[in-house]
């Protein structure tokens, strides 16, 4: 007898609805399988065999993922003052995968009027942080602000030039803890951070406008904070400089 003439028993609407309700109560709304399933055949329950146990897929989707393990780059005790922090910054073997070679130290004195944060040093920095074009732009900006460089502390979130540095990756690697400890040791009156990549390290929720981040919380309290576009971006887009100047005047007027 051909397949065309095979008799297939008809199912009533109530039987179909009952079957759908059964699977919905079990938490299953679809099945993915490489093998053909005979849904209309004799059930294992009716034939005396034990029915296979199915795990609800919805329960798996609703189970919250475990939070990522918190990483600390401080091996042992943290540096307790700025000189010991800078020594650790330049020599600690676990600070990054490359090791101490090529790291660039921050510059300035504790208690500065303004602490400036950037994501990483410039490509050709060796002995001095921001010794290239970005540093020259920053010097002109400080002069226009009426702030002498002896009243400024300049630091980077990463110890060496790191192309395409990603804020979330730095956060997961433990650099937020290091950055906030650094700020606490410097104890500046204000913090000015340049660049979007540094935002996750400052405790910024990326769903919010960066201008809503007005304070940097750290171990010893909180410090007024302003976040601006990166210095490299400002060099190529003059309008960003004008935007920065307006925001700076508003920030310092308070």
Report how far apart, in Å, the C-alpha atoms of 58 and of each of 18, 54, 120 are. Answer: 20, 12, 44
Residue 219, pLDDT score: 82
Residue 209, pLDDT score: 57
* pLDDT per position as a tens digit, 47-100: 455 555 555 555 455 555 544 556 889 987 899 999 999 999 999 999 999 999
Residue 2, pLDDT score: 46
Other beta carbons within 10 angstroms of residue 168's beta carbon come to: 12
Q: Which residue has the higher pLDDT, 123 or 63?
A: 123
* pLDDT per position as a tens digit, 179-237: 999 999 999 999 999 998 999 998 865 555 556 667 888 888 889 999 999 999 999 99
Checking if the pLDDT of 23 tops 50, the result is no
Checking if the pLDDT of 1 tops 50, the result is no
Residues 6+ apart with CB under 8 A from 114: 147, 151, 152, 153, 188, 189, 190, 191, 192
Q: Which residue has the higher pLDDT, 62 or 103?
A: 103
Domain 95-253 has CATH 3.40.470.10: yes
* pLDDT per position as a tens digit, 134-175: 999 999 999 999 999 999 999 999 999 999 899 999 999 999
Residue 149, pLDDT score: 92
Checking if the pLDDT of 40 tops 80, the result is no
Do the Cβ atoms of 155 and 115 come closer than 8 Å? yes
Residue 73, pLDDT score: 93
Residue 70: burial class (beta carbons within 10 Å; 0-12, 13-18, 19+): exposed
Q: Which residues pair with 48 in a beta bridge?
A: none
Q: What are phi and psi of 226, to 5 degrees?
A: -125, 135
pTM of this prediction?
Answer: 0.71
Which position has the token pair 């950037």?
118
Checking if the pLDDT of 132 tops 80, the result is yes
Checking if the pLDDT of 32 tops 90, the result is no
Residue 39, pLDDT score: 45
Q: Which residue has the higher pLDDT, 39 or 143?
A: 143
Q: What are phi and psi of 166, to 5 degrees?
A: -110, 130
């Amino acid at each position: 007898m051909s397949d065309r003439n095979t008799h297939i028993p008809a199912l009533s609407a109530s039987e179909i609805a009952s079957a759908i309700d059964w699977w919905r109560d079990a938490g299953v709304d679809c099945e993915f399988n490489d093998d053909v399933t005979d849904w209309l055949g004799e059930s294992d329950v009716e034939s005396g065999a034990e029915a296979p146990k199915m795990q609800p897929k919805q329960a798996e989707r609703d189970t919250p993922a475990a939070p990522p393990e918190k990483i600390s780059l401080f091996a042992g005790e943290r540096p307790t003052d700025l000189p010991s922090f800078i020594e650790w910054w330049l020599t600690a073997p676990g600070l990054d995968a490359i090791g101490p070679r090529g790291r660039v130290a921050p510059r300035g004195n504790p208690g500065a009027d303004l602490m400036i944060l950037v994501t990483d040093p410039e490509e050709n920095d060796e002995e001095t942080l921001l010794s290239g074009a970005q540093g020259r732009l920053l010097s002109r900006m400080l002069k226009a602000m009426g702030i002498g460089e002896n009243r400024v502390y300049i630091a980077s979130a990463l110890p060496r030039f790191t192309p395409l540095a990603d804020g979330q990756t730095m956060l997961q690697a433990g650099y937020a803890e290091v950055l906030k400890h650094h700020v606490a040791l410097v104890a500046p009156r204000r913090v000015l951070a340049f660049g979007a990549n540094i935002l996750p390290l400052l405790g910024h929720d990326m769903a919010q406008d960066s201008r809503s981040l007005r304070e940097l919380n750290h171990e010893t309290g909180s410090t007024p904070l302003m976040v601006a576009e990166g210095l490299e971006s400002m060099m190529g887009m003059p309008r960003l400089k004008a935007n920065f100047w307006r925001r700076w005047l508003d920030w310092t007027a308070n």
